[in-house]
Amino acid sequence: MSRAVRFGTDGIRGRAHDEVTTDVAYRLGWAVARVLGATLYVGYDTRESSPELAGAVLAGARAGGVTAVNLGLFTTPGVATIARQRAGAGIVVSASHNPYYDNGLKVLGVGGAKLDVATEEAITEALARAPHAEGPFEVVGVDESAEGDYLAFLRALVPADLSGLTLVLDCANGAASHVAPALFASTGATITVLHNTPDGHNINEHCGSTNVTDLVASVLREGADLGLAFDGDADRLIAVDHRGHVRDGDDLMVLFALDRAARGELGGGLVVTVMSNLGLRRALGAVGIDVRETEVGDRNVMLALDDAAWRLGGEQSGHIIFADLASTGDGLLTGLMVAELVARRGALFDQADAAWRREPQTLVNVPAASFDAATVHALFDELIARYGVASDEVRLLVRPSGTEPVVRVMIESTDARVVAEFTQRLHAHFNAPRGSVKSPE
């Protein structure tokens, strides 16, 4: 099996028609059918390549001996919900936050959960021996009942009346473009909708959770209480408070953890990934909330939640998992939960400002060809010694990218001087592009 069709951190992903082809999609549908043996629910996002790829998945699954149901344009967590409700499995055709020319195939196990390692390996083996097929492939016969079932599920989880709120939604020209406005209109909130006119090419283009410039401007212009930005398949959410401050997954997890703890509903502690800010750990630790850390990937978060029998976890990027409510992270559910929190407890800015302080943090993508770990660690050791920073007030994370030929180097510290000088000298030594620095607000 070629490198292009191996499972990554979130399924198979690559350039549409080149790496993610209809042949790969057909074979994956067949492999999943053979391994899981359950009815397969297939949804797809708004990329121009998605319908044909979905048609190939459906054809492959039927050739593999199972019933395959076309859900049409559907969010990833929406497919997970339908699979859970109807005791089936799922495949979502989407490359999430990537540009339109990429695409991906996300597999959800029986009941809609992320695959465990053993099942993923079994599907990988079946994929290697799956038959090939030529198209063209079409998607027909959409299950018209699924969207209503999904919306009813979300509203049953968060039945709050939000008629006192003004919201701005950024749908990323993706899978949330139709369903998000309908969902939030049903709450009674006054809504303004951005980027909900997909044309096959504009998904995630200068919009959505990876680029909230338009959302910030609209929140300020409209005097809105809250802005909500989804990514292309709507499994994650970034919020904007009424003052135009961007609130990522770390902000939201702190507030959800504190609110649930105050109401006796936390059910343990919080699971985060290694990317979450040091300030989150310090703020929750100060009030006795346990924080556990996993490697990057929402599947790792879910596995840790299952292991600890905890209810809440997520990623800085906006994947938030309410394990007691849903089988996977859901940007629409998170958006409802944030809006309900604002309606019940007041402005998001005020809540976040009182709850925690984000420590200085940067992420630099160093070209893998020039990366030298010894140099990075020597620089780190030199700076923490010079500035006298204690070990619990600074953190260095070095990890190779799973999708690009770079090594991601993150530093954070309570001392902003360490972060600034480390970042500057890293650029100078490795000639890393300036655009690779990320500094969360």
Name the phi and psi angles at 78, rounded to 5. Answer: -65, -45
Residue type, 258: L
CA 92 to chain centre: 14
CA distance 111 to 108: 8
Q: Active-site residue numbers?
A: 96
Contact 228, 171 (CB under 8 A): no
End-to-end CA distance of the chain: 42
Cβ neighbours of 262 (radius 10 Å): 11
Separation CA 174–CA 252 (nearest Å): 23
CA distances from 335 to 134, 241, 313 (A): 41, 12, 15
Residue carrying structure tokens 């344009």:
73
Q: What are phi and psi of 362, to 5 degrees?
A: -135, 155
Distance CA 42, CA 28 (A): 12
Residues in Cβ contact with 216 at an 8 Å cutoff, skipping those fewer than 6 apart? 227, 240, 244, 246
